[in-house]
Amino acid sequence: MDSPPRRKSGLNLPSGMTETSLRLDTFPGSVRAITCVSSPRALSSLSSPSKSSNCSDRFIPCRSSSRLHTFGLVEKGSPVKEGGNEAYSRLLKSELFGSDFSSFSSPAGVQGGSALSSPSKNMLRFKTDQSGPNSPYSPSILGYDSGISSEASTPPKPPRKVPKTPHKVLDAPSLQDDFYLNLVDWSSQNVLAVGLGTCVYLWTASNSKVTKLCDLGPHDSVCSVQWTREGSYISIGTYLGQVQVWDGTQCKKVRTMAGHQTRTGVLAWNSRILSSGSRDRNILQHDLRVSNDYVSKLVGHKSEVCGLKWSHDDRELASGGNDNQLLVWNQHSQQPILKLTEHTAAVKAIAWSPHQNGLLASGGGTADRCIRFWNTTNGHQLNHVDTGSQVCNLAWSKNVNELVSTHGYSQNQIMVWKYPSMAKVATLTGHSLRVLYLAMSPDGQTIVTGAGDETLRFWNVFPSVKTPTPVKDTGLWSLGRTHIR
């Protein structure tokens, strides 16, 4: 019989073929290549595969015997995608396989029923082999993708162990229980200075030698102590508002500077300038190279200044006050460049990160209890964490990206944190009153804490430097590690 007229398929055909019909010959277990019929009369020969004239000897394996599901090649219904592409799919099939391809069904003898299917939409897409535990190439021992990455299957690194008890405890009689004072500091030459009542004592860590530096007399008392970065000179803030500078090695007074109206509770050195904060709400800048008592006055706080720290590059000074404000000043401005007011209690705890420029940490008092992190370049708060207790001090480790905080009401604890995750590394207890004072050893491994319980406790909290690098500027840290035992 003659076949009905066919529209042009759009395929390039040899010159000898004037009217070509394309069909697919199927056999049990395999599929032969596309069969070329040169005349309409030959259409009846499709029922006898042996009489067909083949234009190709290419062999196509039976899809029913292949593990196409392993490679994601099996057609899967996708209501979202098929709905929009149904017309295009019909047109494409019609162009490639002929208009009657959609009505073609494989014989019953073909293994797997409908072994011939349209090209899969999942072609060339990765797919996890879900053949079961018998597959030797299964990504997990369960034989299927459990959703757990290979990294998670490796055992986690055990957390660093921090001793829970201090390795040394010193008596510190008359150590005041006053949140606004700063009475303990550890020099780069491994000498600890402590203000006890009217006196300042020096404790040499290498040999435990105690030296009495000075006695201010019955009408005055020590409110703050701070070593220079070189560790040779120490400044003392007094209850009467004076700032004294002493030679720590010779135990001699070098200078006395006035300017404050009442007690000087906090001091901070940079390379050249000594800054002092007072209950009179002012910050004075002292330069020992000039004869004046102070070279500038910074006015911005509305209550007592209790926190003061210079950045490591000497460019910015951070100050905290009992007015709940955290102010940032630069070297030349008489007005603060940043006013950070998120704290809801006094800001005594201030620390600049040695690992990242412009990263400042601050802690609030009893009504706040939060440690907050700031980018001083733009004034944005990066993060904050509620510690549950009054934050009295903060200090960054120079060896690892961690920091330590000491606390008062109500838990009187010492906490070590990882940054920036703020995961707790350790919580240390032992003081019976607020841990108001904190200082760090020159090697960065040991901290000393002081409290109104009149004890100084030494804790090993930070690891040693993994790869020591030479210090380029002043060489203060080239003195070698000294153990405190």
d(Cα 358, Cα 353) in Å, to the nearest integer?
A: 8
Q: Which residues pair with 268 in a beta bridge?
A: 275
> Which pLDDT tens digit goes with each residue over 330-385?
988 889 999 999 999 999 999 999 999 999 999 999 999 999 999 999 999 999 99
Residue 328 has pLDDT above 90, yes or no: yes
Residue 455: name the closest of 112, 133, 165 by CA.
165
Name the percent of the chain lying above pLDDT 90. 61
Burial class (CB in 10 A: 0-12, 13-18, 19+), 329: buried
> Which pLDDT tens digit goes with each residue over 188-198?
999 999 999 99
pLDDT given for residue 88 in this prediction: 80
pTM listed for this prediction: 0.66
> Which pLDDT tens digit goes with each residue over 453-474?
999 999 999 999 875 444 444 4
For the ranges 71-80, 192-201, 264-273, 427-436, the lowest mean pLDDT is seen at 71-80
Residue 50 has pLDDT above 50, yes or no: no
Please provide the average confidence, as pLDDT, over all residues in the chain: 80
Pairing of strands 184-186, 168-171: unpaired
Residue 106 has pLDDT above 80, yes or no: no
Cα-to-chain-centroid distance, residue 5: 73
> Which pLDDT tens digit goes with each residue over 231-261?
999 999 999 999 999 999 999 999 999 999 9
Over residues 196-222, the mean pLDDT reads: 96
Residue 440 has pLDDT above 60, yes or no: yes
State the DSSP string of 289-325.
TSSSS-SEEEE--SS-EEEEEE-TTSSEEEEEETTS-
Over residues 69-93, the mean pLDDT reads: 62
Domain boundaries, the chain: 169-460
**CATH homologous superfamily of domain 169-460?**
YVTN repeat-like/Quinoprotein amine dehydrogenase (2.130.10.10)
Quickly tell me which residue has 């590059």 as its tokens. 313
> Which pLDDT tens digit goes with each residue over 310-319?
999 999 999 9
pLDDT given for residue 145 in this prediction: 42
Whether 434 contacts 412, CB under 8 Å: yes
For the ranges 11-25, 237-251, 321-335, the lowest mean pLDDT is seen at 11-25
pLDDT given for residue 43 in this prediction: 40
